[in-house]
Amino acid sequence: MIFRVARVFVISIFLFFLTSCYGSWNFFYEGNNVDERTQEMKWISDSNDLQFEQSGVSKLGGTYTVLVLSDTHFGSKKKPVNPQKLYNWLDTKKESPDYPSFAICLGDATELGRRDDFDLYHDFCKTLQTKYNLSLIFNACGNHDIYQNNWENWERECYPYTSFYRFQTTNFSWYCLDTASGAVGYEQYKKLMAVFELDPRPKIVFTHYPYVRFNINCSNMAETTERNLMISDFYKNKVKCLLGGHNHTATYDNLGFNDYGIPSYGYVEKWGLLYVDEAAGTAELIFCGDN
């Protein structure tokens, strides 16, 4: 009798996850894997991207700031997103010299990657650009964004419509990596290093999963060899700043470069403001929003 009850319990739990809103993705990693999403690193430039050219990002130099968001989780029923908190803060900054030039979202823009979720995120980005004059919103892909094979939704809605790319400002190079499956993977790592080692510029790297802060649970990057290799490579190749999200908390480490964990805007209503000084070759972030 005990074994029969236990068997029914196990089967019930399995079926719950298989049919729940999160589905079986957490167990079987359905959908496109990281190698499929990162077949090439896209170089975004004025010559091949009209949005980028019109934004003026490539011409940024001297000192400027960048709004950094993560884990907005649009579509969450547990805690619906309140964009007004950020809008109010931007209103107070409009006349300030450190008003952000553009924005970066570090993934988990949506709760489940559904079209309705992305519609909400799209409206949010449109407001940031049209009402608050942020020239572009760059995006990293998060694990929530591709639940239930929803990679195509992310790819269609989130600029620059690829998860593995780079662009340049006057003196800096910026790199976005795809960690939405919980790893960089050998192929993406190989392509990254082929470009990194030929790029003498100071670098800023952003992605979804953090590299330095390691938590032992099923949702964090657990490949410590890959993580340690990349931390060493970042240090040797003039990475000045590393931006990650996912864990919903604000963290900072100094490893010869600044490593920041950006908290969840959707759940704790905090964000980052990155101060870049291209002449000095520095990039430093302050955390903003509620405690």
pTM: predicted TM-score of the whole model, two decimal places: 0.89
Task: Classify domain 32-289 by CATH number.
Answer: 3.60.21.10
Residue that has been written with the tokens 């790592």 in this structure: 189
Sheet holding 251-254, edge to edge: 42-43, 165-168, 173-176, 203-206, 239-244, 258-261, 251-254
Cβ pair 75, 119 in contact under 8 A: no
Residue 244, pLDDT above cutoff 90: yes
Count other Cβ atoms within 10 Å, centred on residue 198. Answer: 7
Tell me the per-residue pLDDT of 82-122, one tens digit each, with 9 for 90 and over: 999 999 999 999 999 999 999 999 999 999 999 999 999 99
pLDDT tens, position by position, 167-206: 999 999 999 999 998 889 899 999 999 999 999 999 999 9
Q: Write the pLDDT tens digit of every residue in 119-152.
A: 999 999 999 999 999 999 999 999 999 987 899 9
d(C-alpha 260, C-alpha 251), whole Å: 6
CA 195 to chain centroid: 20
- Do 263 and 246 form a contact (C-beta atoms < 8 A)? no
Average pLDDT, the chain: 88
Domains of the chain, by residue range, sit at 1-30, 32-289
User: Which pLDDT band, with edges at 50, 70 and 90, does 219 fall under?
Assistant: very low
